Structure 1
Amino acid sequence: MKFYKHAANGFKIVLERKITMHTTEETVVSFRRVSKIFNKKIMALQNFDLEVKDGEFISFLGPSGCGKSTALRMVAGLEKASEGEVQVFNEQPKEVISNTNDVAFVFQDANLLPWRNVLDNVVLPLELRGENKQESRDKAIDVLEKVGLKGHLKSYPRQLSGGMKMRVSIARALAAKPKMLLMDEPFGALDEMTRQTLQMDLLHIWEREKTTILFVTHNVYEAALLSSRIAVMTAGPGRLSALIDVDLPRPRELSIRTSNEFMKYVETASNHLENGSIGRELG
C-alpha cells in the first residue's frame, strides 16, 4: 500500500514511490519493522521500514542519535536487528559482505594506513580478497584517476589534505566495483569548499557508475543536493518520518542551490525534521 501526503508547498511526500533515474524495480535493501536495542535499554531504531531500489541515491537525514548510522551499519552486517529483518540483495547482510564485493563502506574518517601510499591503500582490499596483483593495481589506478588523484599515487596520507584523504577512501571503496556504496557522513569533518567539491564528485560518480548509494547526513542542504529520495527520521528511537522524492534536474550543479525549487525541498525536509512524525504523515 502507498500513502500520499500533499504538503502545503505543493510537494507530494510518499512512503513508497518508484524513482525513474537509472533505477530498476529490483529491491536491493529492505528494512521490515526493524528495531535495535543496545544494552537492553537504549532503543536506537523502532519499527523502521524502508525499501531501496537498485540505482537510488537515498540520504538518511535526521538529528544526532536518531539511528541513521545504526541503520547503515545493519546494511553492512556490522549490527544485527533486535527485532524485524534487514535484507540486502535478498540475503542476510553478513552473507553478502562475506561472499561478494557488492557492498562497500565509506566512513567519516578516511581510515588510511599511514605506512602505505595512496595506490597501496586503494589496492589493499583487492589484495585481501586474493585478486591478481597487476589487475588490482590497474583497477586502483583507474578509479584514482576518476577521483582526480592519478598524480598522487605515491603520496602518503601525511602528505594529503583532508579532502584528498576522503577521495582515497572513496576510491578504495569503488575499486572493487560494488553495486552499493554506504557512506556515513563522509564529508562532515571537511571545510565547506572541500565539501562542495566532493559532493559534486560523488554525484558525477553516481551518475556514471549507477551505483546504489545510501548516505547518512544531518545536513538538509546536502541531502537535497545529492538525493533521489530523502528518508527523514524522527529523534530517537528512530522511525521513518517521511520519504521525500527530490525531483530536481540532473545532472545537478551547485548553482541549483540558489533556485526556488531547491529551497522548497530544503524547507520541506526541515519542517519534517522539526515537526514531522510518521503518525502525522499518515494523518
Structure 2
Amino acid sequence: MTQTTRTPEAGIVDAVKGNWVDRSAPDWAKPYLRLSRADRPIGTWLLLLPCWWGALLSAASGEGLSLRLIWILLACSAGAWLMRGAGCTWNDITDRDIDGSVERTRMRPIPSGQVSVKQALAWMVIQSLIALCLLLTFNLNAILLGFLSLATVAIYPFAKRFTWWPQIFLGLAFNWGALLAWTAESGRLGLPAIILYLAGIAWTLFYDTIYAHQDKEDDALIGVKSTARLFGEDTPQWLWRFAIASTALMAVAAVMAFNFTFGAGLILSLVGVAAFFTHMAWQMRILDIDDTKTCLRLFRSNRDAGLLAALFLAIAVLA
C-alpha cells in the first residue's frame, strides 16, 4: 500500500492564513519552508530578541555604536532565522509520530508525507552549515558558545517526554543568544549576560506556557507533558511569577552591566525593562487559558514585549 500524501489545503495548518509561504513560495519549496516555520515568523523573533538584548546591553555599557555591533545585529538576525529553521526541522523529525496525533500539527510536512525524514535531515544540515558560516565571523569565545548551544537544541524536543517542565529546556535553547551576542560584542562572557540569560528563560516560561494551553487536551490524550498541564487553573499565578522574575533579572543585568552607575544609558535600559513588564501585565489582563485563539494571540504578542526592551537598549547605545 502506498502512503497518501496530504497537502495543507486538505486540513488544518497551524499558521496564519495567507502567509507569504502560501502566497509566494514555489511549490517545491513550500514543505521545506514550513519545516523551518518560515510561515510563522514569531519563533524567529523570540530567538533573535535575546541576541539583540545581549549585544545592545554590552554595547550600551561599553563602547557604544560600532561597526562590529551592527554586524553582530545583522548576523544574529540571519542566524536566528537559520537556526530556528534547523531547530524546528529537528523538532519535527523527533516529533513526527506525536505531530500526526495532534489536530493542530497533523498536516506538518513530515507526518502528512510531503517530506521524508532523510529530506528533512538534509534540509536541517544545509541550514546549520550556512549559520555556521555566520558564527565563524565572531570571536573565538562566541564561536565556542555557539557550538555549546547545540546541546540545548538537541535535547529540547525530548524534554516533554520526561519532564513536566519542557519550557525550561526551550528557554535554555531560545535565550542562548544573550550569552553569545554579549560575548561577540565584548569579547568575553560576563555576569550581566548570564543574568540576562536567566531573565530570558523566565520570559520563555511565561510565553510558552500560554502557547502550550492550545494543545493541553491533545497533550493529555497522548501523554505529552507541559507546564500548561502541570499548572492547570493555577496558570495565572505562575505566569505572574515568571513575569516578575524575568523583569527583576533583566533590571539586575542592566544595573550590573553599567557597574551600578546611574546615567542616561542605565535609565533608558530600565525604562525598557519597565515597558517589557507593562506589556506582560497587559497580556495577563486579557488572558483566557481556555480560549486557544487568545492564547495564540498573546503568545505572538511577546515579539512586541521583547522589542520594547530592545528599542530602549538601542537608544541607550546612542545616548
TM-score, normalised with respect to structure 2: 0.28
TM-score, normalised with respect to structure 1: 0.30
More strand by share: 1
Q: Which has the larger radius of gyration?
A: 2
